[in-house]
Amino acid sequence: MKKKFLYSALFLMGMAFAGFTAASCSDDDDNTGDGGGGVTDNGGNSGTGSNSGFDAAANLDYNTENAASWRNYSRQVAILLKKDATTLYDSWETSFQGGEAFKKTFTEHNGGTYTSALSCIEQIIDKCVEITDEVGNSKIGDPYDKWTAGQQTEALYAVESWYSFHSRDDYSNNIRSIRNSYFNSLDSTISNNSLYKLVEKIDPALNTKIANEIESTKNAILAIPQPFRNNIGDAQVPVAQSACVALGVTLDQELKAAIQNAYNNGTITDAEMDLVVSGFVNNVVLPTYKDLKEKNTALLAAVEDFYNTPSDDTFEAACEAWLVARMPWEQSEAFLFGPVDILGLDPNMDSWPLDQVAIVNILNSGNFDDLNWEDGDSEDEITASQEVRGFHTLEFLLFKNGNPRTVSAQ
């Protein structure tokens, strides 16, 4: 997730909605739980924070005036998601810069910093550490810190995936991505050529500690009451944050040191680590990205059904396809290196928060060229494009208050 803070822009949203009906509605029953959160913007605007009535974008509904543009926007975003997911898989498997697949660059240690199997193992661990920090201190901790500081509205907008009430699922899938990288599998089985088996040989106690911390961190996240956006101040939130931080410390300080020491003293060999790296690519990275490509292809098909035949049923089917397509992305976030980083595919697909003012301006203008960027564009131009596309833009267009939108304003 590429995350930038746009709170000042969010407070200007009420100024950008000429030509659109922003009908307010009451929240559904499952959107009223306080749990220390109490925010119910995105519908009722009854949040306890200041300026709770400002969020016109959250109340924007699909209606007869904006229907054609809304469907077209959804379709354009889904096309780009499929394109980016396909590029990501193909860059690892069949092609990359200079015509070589990144798979070869990584497994043969012949590009950039990947000069040995050990450097590849360290890259895998570093990215696992990075996602523990992001989930614990950014995705969970940042909203909680804002909430406890009395910044309720800012806390709400710091919660990722709150249109669909999917935040907790995203965060737990991020931890599963660490598990998958450690086990070298996608189904919680343990591959013989995995970090798990390597560490079991080096230090069985540390291996058990890591496996237990991965599981307990996932469970601590799942113990946060649903939806997270309504339970930001719940007592389980800092517990989950602390679990993420502790896991990151174990991986960064204990696991990396254990691998380095074992390599230095000859307990593990280059050949053993080569098998782990190869297993990681073939058992985790490529299957995950293949799944992402296939499920985003299915997502586009569902969105095109909605585009061609708008109805409550096709709206709901597109939402279901979004939830399915989202999972492999979140389970890839422990290995956000290589093409996903170099080609800008992470912010293309997963920028958060959104620039909702710009989204509504695009709905008004129908100028979908604003979703695209190319080499040579400035950093600001690229960022502006990325903040109006990707999973979260489509989530905004498909979901409201955790439910599928409808073809008529509620």
pLDDT per residue of the chain (410 residues) written in tens, 0 to 9: 665 433 333 333 332 333 333 222 323 334 333 334 444 444 333 333 333 323 566 678 899 999 999 999 999 999 999 999 999 999 999 998 777 899 999 999 988 889 999 999 999 999 999 999 999 999 999 999 999 999 998 999 899 998 999 999 999 999 999 999 999 999 999 999 999 999 999 999 999 999 999 999 999 999 999 999 999 999 999 999 999 999 999 999 999 999 999 999 999 999 999 999 999 999 999 999 999 999 999 999 999 999 999 999 999 999 999 999 999 999 999 999 999 999 999 999 999 988 888 898 899 889 999 999 988 999 999 999 999 999 999 999 999 999 999 997 54
Per-residue confidence (pLDDT) for residue 83, from 0 to 100: 98
Per-residue confidence (pLDDT) for residue 57, from 0 to 100: 67
Per-residue confidence (pLDDT) for residue 56, from 0 to 100: 63
Closest Cα to residue 134, out of 292, 288, 241? Answer: 241
Fold of 62-404: A middle domain of Talin 1 (1.20.1420)
CA separation, residue 32 to residues 42, 170, 235 (Å) = 12, 21, 18
Report how far Cα 368 is from the mean position of its chain's Cα atoms.
23
DSSP state of 399: E
Per-residue confidence (pLDDT) for residue 30, from 0 to 100: 40
The CA distance from 65 to 316, in Å, is 21
Per-residue confidence (pLDDT) for residue 7, from 0 to 100: 34
CB-CB contact of 72 with 265 (8 Å): no
Q: Whole-prediction pTM value?
A: 0.88
Handedness of CA 100, 103, 106, 108 (dihedral sign): negative
Per-residue confidence (pLDDT) for residue 357, from 0 to 100: 83
Closest Cα to residue 326, out of 391, 401, 389? Answer: 391
* Tokens describing residue 29: 């029953």
CB-CB contact of 228 with 172 (8 Å): no
The CA distance from 257 to 118, in Å, is 12
